[in-house]
Amino acid sequence: MNLQYALLSDSSWQQLTNWQTPDTPFMSFEFWQALSDTGAIGEKAGWLPIYILIHRPNDRDSDATQEALSSAKLSASKLSSEQIGQPIAVMPVFIKGHHQGEFVFDHAWAQAYAQYGLDYYPRLVTSAPYTPITGQRLWLAEGEVLDADILKAAIAGVDDIAQQVEASGWHGLFVTPEMAAIAHAALPTDIDIEMALNSQANGVAAKPIELPILERQGCQFLWQNKHLSQDSKLNRDSQLSEDGQLSKDSQPFADFEGFLATLKAKKRKTIRAERRKVAEQGIICERKCGDAITEADWQTFYHCYVMTYAVRGQQPYLTLDFFKKLAATMPEHLMLAQALDANADIIASSLFLYDKPDSKNATLYGRYWGALGEYDSLHFELCYYQGIEFAIEQGLTYFDPGTQGEHKLIRGFIPTKTHSLHRIYDARFVPAISDFCAKDRMHMAQYREQAFAALPFNIDNMPTFNDSDF
């Protein structure tokens, strides 16, 4: 397939065709517009976006036109339909001089560069900013499916940007298993290091296409709204019928008690005790969705959110205006859980985003939390148990509470594999970083297996460990 790409610094490409609905709210145009409008992404934030627009050429395309649309267009302005043939995909790339808001860390790689007196910055990152959620990393036009040709064109665009800004590498964070598999099949995963080093020794850089795509894997924890068994595959699609519904023997829970019944007696007792402790402190919890969240609610929520950072002596990445813009543009994806004390004053808040319940693999995402004081077990109640109850009530299939934390594991959140892709442009560092990634994958596989063994389910609901992919 003959695909071309253009490098753009604005979002005018959104008007060129009809785009598919993203698989998570964090890749919605509304979410990204809120980030941009409030300065969370942009040059001042150190998240300078470049958009790689992949398209099929039209009859008017020429070599000169394509050159103008690629290597000379890091500061491109609006495109016209005459310049672009048929847009099929867009991949965002950020030019960054730091690691903030990423959750897949490469500090050790930066230190290695520094030890040799080399610059690790700028570096290129493709991610949903500040969001450790697995999902699509390209916007696709209606009728398109991510394949090897599209990904190769996207990586060619990445290589172009890297050459222009002299980036050390590219990092695709929390990509889907499908994207990781396509990258492995379509792009080199190893390098002829002797040839590459000889080229660099002679002052000739290795051709980017010869450089490999490296993979790191991680572990997050995911709650599933269904009864599990020894035959479960721990795969989002394993127990779905052709219409995307759970099979009859994997029906969603009717209520929170139905979920608790799948746990070992000791774990059920612990969770009930934690919920009881919250009530004994005179605290009640409420949930509000979308337009029911008031201006006062947002003010109080943000006060709580800021406290999460203040206790660590940090400033939050996101502003109150950002959350208000989400409320104005995508309220159907927002749920706010609040904790109120005996005086009916809000003392803690937790903001969730969620997919529409009728979408395939509809998921609740736990994202932003904060409290105005220390309260026994309140974090577990507001960030996990309220989320589980909401997912059950709404008929959502999954609950993704965010990154890290064995405390999620013992509350029924299952260890699952995450993927990130990496491309290093200095061939001298590729062998060491490749070895690092291989050892890291092995370590994380062992960690996931150990975490799986600690799951709190009773024998009738304990799923079979399957780490092949998720």
Task: Please check whether residue 260 lies inside any domain of the structure.
Answer: yes
Regarding whether 138 and 45 lie in a shared domain, the answer is yes
Give the pLDDT confidence score for residue 273 in this predicted structure. Answer: 98
3-class secondary-structure state, position 255: coil
Q: How far apart are CA 322 and CA 129, in angstroms?
A: 13
Q: Are 297 and 288 in contact (CB under 8 A)?
A: yes
Task: Please check whether residue 457 lies inside any domain of the structure.
Answer: no
Task: Please check whether residue 436 lies inside any domain of the structure.
Answer: no
Regarding whether 293 and 171 lie in a shared domain, the answer is no
Residue 305 corresponds to which tokens in the numbers above?
A: 């959110």
Task: Please check whether residue 211 lies inside any domain of the structure.
Answer: no
Q: How would you label 102-116 residue by residue, b for 16+ Cβ within 10 Å and e otherwise?
A: bbbebeebbebbeee
Query: What kind and span of H or E run contains 31?
Result: helix 29-37
Residue 448 corresponds to which tokens in the numbers above?
A: 């996931």
Q: What percent of the chain has pLDDT over 90?
A: 76
3-class secondary-structure state, position 117: coil
Q: Kindly provide the residue ranges of all beta strands, DSSP E only, lying in 97-195, ordered along the sequence.
A: 123-126, 139-140, 169-175
Instruction: Tell me the pLDDT band of 371, cut-offs 50, 70 and 90.
Output: very high
Quick one: average pLDDT of 49-77? 66
Residue 7 has pLDDT above 80, yes or no: yes
Regarding whether 127 and 229 lie in a shared domain, the answer is no
What would the pLDDT profile of 221-234 be if each residue is shown by its tens digit? 999 999 876 444 44
Residue 77 has pLDDT above 50, yes or no: no
What would the pLDDT profile of 121-140 be if each residue is shown by its tens digit? 999 999 999 999 999 999 99
The mean predicted confidence, pLDDT, of the chain is: 88
Q: Last residue of a domain, which of 373, 400, 415?
A: 415
Q: How far apart are CA 384 and CA 371, in angstroms?
A: 15
Regarding whether 348 and 268 lie in a shared domain, the answer is yes
Domain of residue 344, residue span:
220-415
Instruction: Tell me the pLDDT band of 189, cut-offs 50, 70 and 90.
Output: confident
Residue 195 has pLDDT above 70, yes or no: no
Give the pLDDT confidence score for residue 311 in this predicted structure. Answer: 80
Regarding whether 106 and 33 lie in a shared domain, the answer is yes
Residue 250 has pLDDT above 90, yes or no: no
Instruction: Tell me the pLDDT band of 236, cut-offs 50, 70 and 90.
Output: very low
CA angle, 290 then 291 then 294, to 5°: 110
Instruction: Output DSSP code: residue 97.
Output: S
Q: Last residue of a domain, which of 133, 168, 187?
A: 187
Give the pLDDT confidence score for residue 245 in this predicted structure. Answer: 42
Task: Please check whether residue 64 lies inside any domain of the structure.
Answer: yes
User: Which CATH number does the domain housing residue 265 bear?
Assistant: 3.40.630.30
Regarding whether 393 and 290 lie in a shared domain, the answer is yes
Residue 400 corresponds to which tokens in the numbers above?
A: 């993704």
Instruction: Tell me the pLDDT band of 251, cut-offs 50, 70 and 90.
Output: confident
What would the pLDDT profile of 399-424 be if each residue is shown by its tens digit? 999 877 788 999 999 999 999 999 99
CA 202 to chain centre: 40
Regarding whether 238 and 177 lie in a shared domain, the answer is no
Domain total in the chain: 2
* Per-position DSSP letters for 345-356, written without gaps between them: -EEEEEEEEE--
Q: How would you label 333-350 residue by residue, b for 16+ Cβ within 10 Å and e otherwise?
A: bbbbbbbebeeeebbbbb
User: Which long-range CB contacts under 8 A does 371-377 form with residues at least 24 apart?
Assistant: 371/304, 371/307, 371/308, 371/339, 371/347, 372/303, 372/304, 372/307, 372/347, 372/348, 373/347, 375/278, 375/281, 375/283, 375/339, 375/347, 375/348, 376/277, 376/278, 376/281, 377/274, 377/275, 377/277, 377/278
Instruction: Report in angstroms the alpha-carbon separations of 193 from 183, 199, 209.
Output: 20, 10, 13
Residue 191: CB atoms within 10 A of its CB come to 19
Regarding whether 232 and 293 lie in a shared domain, the answer is yes
Give the pLDDT confidence score for residue 229 in this predicted structure. Answer: 66
Task: Please check whether residue 40 lies inside any domain of the structure.
Answer: yes
- From first CA to last CA, the distance across the chain in angstroms is 29
Q: How far apart are CA 469 and CA 154, in angstroms?
A: 24
User: Which CATH number does the domain housing residue 33 bear?
Assistant: 3.40.630
pTM over 0.85: yes
Give the pLDDT confidence score for residue 257 in this predicted structure. Answer: 96
Regarding whether 140 and 286 lie in a shared domain, the answer is no
Radius of gyration for the alpha carbons in the chain, expressed in angstroms and rounded = 23
Instruction: Output DSSP code: residue 13.
Output: G
Residue 262 corresponds to which tokens in the numbers above?
A: 């799948």
Task: Please check whether residue 448 lies inside any domain of the structure.
Answer: no
Which residues, listed in sequence order, are joined to residue 19 by a DSSP beta bridge? 141
Task: Please check whether residue 214 lies inside any domain of the structure.
Answer: no
